[in-house]
Every structure is written in structure tokens, then in C-alpha cells.
Structure 1
């Protein structure tokens, strides 16, 4: 019988939901291996035949300190160190699993690429997946403004290369007469930048320059701010979960500001209304774009895809891919699909058991 082991944070909601999915499929309780143990270099307890799932380190302050050094968990920054530590751990996991006679449910190299926005954007662009145009690499505010001028861009998204959950993301727009406006969840404090649950606006060049220069040492990915479609008076995008090559789950994220993340005040929208607005051909195209994006990571049985629907409802662009983008509690699969009636975790377990996804 298949038995899962999971690298996760014990007691974390993700681990609990995945364990429930295993039980619902008649599988033994998965063995949970703590990320903190892995990050400290401990051996990974595996038995021959185990199927190892790598999940998010989550919001565990201890794991966060091991990944990017001591400090407040709310701080923005440290992404470069986080990424070095994380990918080193992925390398150790990738070597330990076959040595134990176990198998990986997800490719460690795919995960590493998905956690680098520059590399994932380049991979999808090379495969012909529609993505927002990216600007050349920049190392600070002055270089950013030069790159924007060279590209003729007045509206861009500035993203930490290794960030997640919109941490440090800046929606920047400039105008005539030196006008500038930056929208972000990063709060400037005497102790540096910290994440806030409230989106704020900076409106002077000195503030914006200080913000971008503080983010730049960890690496930046800058891309065109494409105009999102709106429905019900709110802009929206889509998070789609692709399992075994099929877009199985979808949620609409709406907002009155540029970031649609639900923890930043975004709200779930009406998926049926979006489907009606797109029409069947448009909806099919949206699913196809997401499947093509996930296909760029062929060793990953699950990919979370953030899809921009542009004004006019006729064009799409993938703005993010997520290695751990399946935390969508109480959301069941799309009607008529292989995951209809199933949550994202149960759908993944069943896909493995039926051979729809290959480790």
C-alpha cells in the first residue's frame, strides 16, 4: 500500500488537510517530517516505497529563522538567503529519497525554479506561455527608472525574486511632472520594512526610491503592469490548480487595489459570473493557458497558476506559478472534471493512486 511521508510543519493546516485526504482515500496516516529538522541537517526518516511529498515551510517562525536568519517573521527581505538555504535543503532531500528506496512526489528542481520568479518567467516565455513582458534586471531604484524609460513603461510590478504572498511586491506607476505612486503591503518602520495586512500608498520619489533600494539586494523581477479585467466593480485574477496536467480547481480573487491576495483585503469572486463573461471559448482558453504553464514543470504533479485576465476578457497572462499553491480550503473541483467534488489534497492523492500524476 502507498504510504506518504510529508515534509511540512507539524500541526500546520496544510499537513492536517493532506493527512485527512490520505485517510479519506484509505491510506495510512502520513509520516510528517518537520521542516526544522530538515533545515538543521537531520536524516529524513523514510522506508523503502514511501512517497515523499514536499510541502511549504508555512508560517513557522523557527523554520523562517533557519531559512533567512533570526528576526521578526513579519520582516520583508532576506529572500536571497532564504532561497539559498531552501534550495540546499531541496538538494539534500533529492539525494536522500532514492538512497532510502523511496520516491519523490514532485521534482525538487521544479520547486526551485518556481521559487525564482526570473527563472520561472523565462521558462514559460521560452515555451510560448503568455506572460507579462519583463524588464532587464535592475539593482536599485535608479536602474529601475532607467529600464522603465528605455522600455517606454510607466506602470510596472516590482517583485522580490524569491518572495511569496505578495511580500514586498510594489505596484509602481509614474506620470508627467514627476508624479509617482507605489502601492504595496510593505510598511516602512524604524526597524526596516515589514509586511502589513493593510495595503498602503507611497507618493514621493524619496519614499519610493528608499522602498525599491531596500528590496533590491535580494534580487528583483520587474514586469509590465498589464490592465486587469474587472467584474462587479472590482479587478480580478484567477488562481487555478493544475493536477496531473488538468486544471481542476479555480478561485476568483477580486480587489479594489492592485494586489488581489485574500490576506490583503481581496475577496473571493463569483466564478460563474467570470465564466459567463469569458464565454465557453474564453474559459477553455484560460484552462489551456494554465495547463501549458504547468507543463513547463513536468516533474510537478501539482502547480498553482495565477492567471491574469486582461481588460476586454480576450487575452490572458500567467503572472505567477506556485509550488505550494493548493491551500484552498473548502474549494472543490470544477464540475465535469476529474476532481469534481474533491478538495485539492484529495484530488492529488487520488491522482497518484490512479497514475494520473507521476512522481
Structure 2
């Protein structure tokens, strides 16, 4: 049996159409975009086109898109830049985020000087932050609110538009880590009223090592990398032209196929959830409704995820226990803990995420394998 990949939230394969668009920029069109001759002009034009493609996906303007190495860099750039600005004013300041953010946000906040105070908000049992908690947490020195668009572990979609409206009304910079959402659900930075948005190409069938930061026109941040004048002086370094072309093409494809693919994946997701819930002791983690189309995070009572993942891998199915960035950690998921789950329940959590190349027969085969594996594990424990 051909192995079945069901961990699209960790990374996606590069779409062949994306790879085809990228290949010339490794060989024939290899020029440095900062060069004045034709090789450089070709690279500049390709980067400009990709910037437009990504802007179109987000409902943004081209000059609001800055290319980075990925979502983690984009998250760090916003947090560190705004914190440094607050420190330069001499009084430090206050950041609001949630306990279920990606570690790129949580660890970046934890690394800030003590004079930057960070409030980590609780979430409800589905992993959703409450707007009223943000409203109550705001202080006169709050300079940043950062809330992810959709959770990377349980797939819960957060009320970003409502938070954005509140932050805009109160003049607070609002950032969202949209790494899991971009290319998978409709997003408009204008409707969400975000000031900054982070994304990563390899989460929507682009190459690894390339991401972007949307920064609303008129908002200013300090450079994270100093050197040349690339990215309008905000991110130095020779552009990764092939990667930028790749993320642009991935954005173009995602925009064209978003509605149809979203409907297809939602149907497969719901079929998978229905099948899992037939297993005695199974439960769903995350939101019932406001959930990413391809995300299914579940647990089966009495079946620890480490044993289950190994068994499923031997049976030809690739799933995970949560964030790929936390693989190997002995600690229970910080997301599930924040949602109120104890260590025992969290130790059963498995994340199966579907994607562009998931077929209905893959879901059926996985359900059959899961039922067999869970029964075998329980039998050996008895």
C-alpha cells in the first residue's frame, strides 16, 4: 500500500505547478534582483509579480507585502520591532496574546526584556479567545495584540475581525499569525482590520524557506535584518527569487481553487470526524463549527498517541500528535492544556490534517486502520 500523508498542517508538498514556475530562476533566470542589467530586471519583475499575487490572495496592496524566510521570522519581526520601539520610548509597555499561540509568538514574547509585560489570555474549551477578555486586559501602555487566525493544533478559527475592529477603534497595533489559514480559508486583511499578518509558503503548497509579512500601509516597523536596501530597506539580503516566485504561484493557485477545495476538504473532514466518533471513547478537540477545512484533532480514551502514531506509521499513515515544532517534547500540548484538558486526555491527542492530494479512499483507509490500531492497543493494555 502506498503511504498516506495526513499531516498537511505540518507541511505540504510543493505543487508541481509551483515547482515548474520556480525552476527557471535556479538556472536560466538566476540574476540578482538588485543588478541593473537584464538578468537583474528579470528577477525584479518576477518578484514584483509574486508580490501582486500574494497581495491579491490577502486583499492587500503590493507595497504592503514583505518577503521573509517564513512565519516564525515574520512573527518575531513584528514582536521584536514593536517591543524595541516601546523600549526606546523609555517606559517599556504591554503586549496581549493568548496561551494557544504558536511557539514563534510565545517564545518571542518570553525572550523580551522584563520591562515589556505580556498578558497570556485563557481560551474556552474549544480553543477560542474571548473578545471581552481582550477588552478587559487592555491597559494604557498596551502597544500590541497578537492572536493567531487559526490554531495549528486543533484548527479552531479565532474571531479576528471582531478583535481587529476593537484594536482599530482603540489605536492598538493588531497582528495575527495566519500561517495555518492563508490559502485555506478566505481572508481579507481589510475586513479583518489587521495591521500585520504572518504567513509561510510551505503551508499552502509553496516551497519551504519563504514566507511573508503583511504590514498595513502607514504602519512602520524597524528592520529585523540590517544590510542592503532589499524589501524597501526593511529586510536586507539578496532576495530568494525562486522561493518568492514559488510562493507567488502558490498564492495564485490557492486563490483560484479556494472555494472548491475548501468545500471538498470540509466534506472529507466531516466524514473523517463522523467515522472517528463511532470508535468507543473517541472525542474531538477544538471547535465544532469554526474550524479549518482539513483539520481533525481527536483523542481516544485509553489509547496514548505515541503508541498510536507508531502503529499507524507502520500501517502506512502519517499523522501527528500536534505541532511539528513541538515534536519530541515530553510536555503535554500547551494548546490542549490551555483548553482545560488534563495530562491524561492530552496524551491521547492525535492530529490528522487533510490536503490537496487527499482522496476519499485515503480517509476510508485511515478510518479502518485507526479502528484496528486502537482496538489492538486497548487489547494489549487489558
TM-score norm. by structure 2 comes to: 0.24
Larger fraction in strand: 1
Rg larger in 1 or in 2?
A: 2
Structure showing greater relative contact order (alpha-carbon pairs closer than 8 Å, 6 or more residues apart)? 2
Give the helix-richer structure, 1 or 2: 2
